[in-house]
Amino acid sequence: AQSVTQLDSQVPVFEEAPVELRCNYSSSVSVYLFWYVQYPNQGLQLLLKYLSGSTLVKSINGFEAEFNKSQTSFHLRKPSVHISDTAEYFCAVSDRIRNDYKLSFGAGTTVTVRA
């Protein structure tokens, strides 16, 4: 079984400042990793994913995340945030070997961008 820890529940940040959301996971097997974003009163949207290959993955709207196997982390970063990035962000993992189609989610990090 996997577990996911998002180290910050709330992250306030000023517009155009950088932001980092931390995610650590524990698993006895190899995993796939995901970041989802949820805007208020909406469902979740996939932001980016790590499946294999390059450990640095990027989204179309400027976010990036780096898989660090030795530290079992998948931190999310953006060098300059916009007001529209205000949302809740969830880190998730699934078992690469077992592949039972179950995702384990972290508790979420709420990002509030202020002007």
Minimum CB–partner distance for residue 16 and other proteins (Å): 28
Instruction: Count residues binding other proteins (CB under 8 A).
Output: 25
Which region, judged by CB under 8 A, interacts with other proteins, from 13-21, 57-65, 66-74, 96-104? Answer: 96-104
- Quick one: three-class SS letters along the chain? CCEEEECCCEEEEECCCCEEECEEEECCCCEEEEEEEECCCCCEEEEEEECCCCCEEECCCCCEEEEECCCCEEEEEECCCCHHHCEEEEEEEEECCCCCCCCEECCCEEEEEEC
Minimum CB–partner distance for residue 108 and other proteins (Å): 5
Per CB under 8 A, 54 contacts other proteins: no
Q: Which residue of 12, 18, 26, 42 would you call a contact of other proteins, by CB under 8 A?
A: 42
Q: Which residues bind other proteins (CB under 8 A)?
A: 4, 6, 9, 32, 34, 36, 41-46, 49, 51, 90, 94, 96, 99, 101-103, 105-108
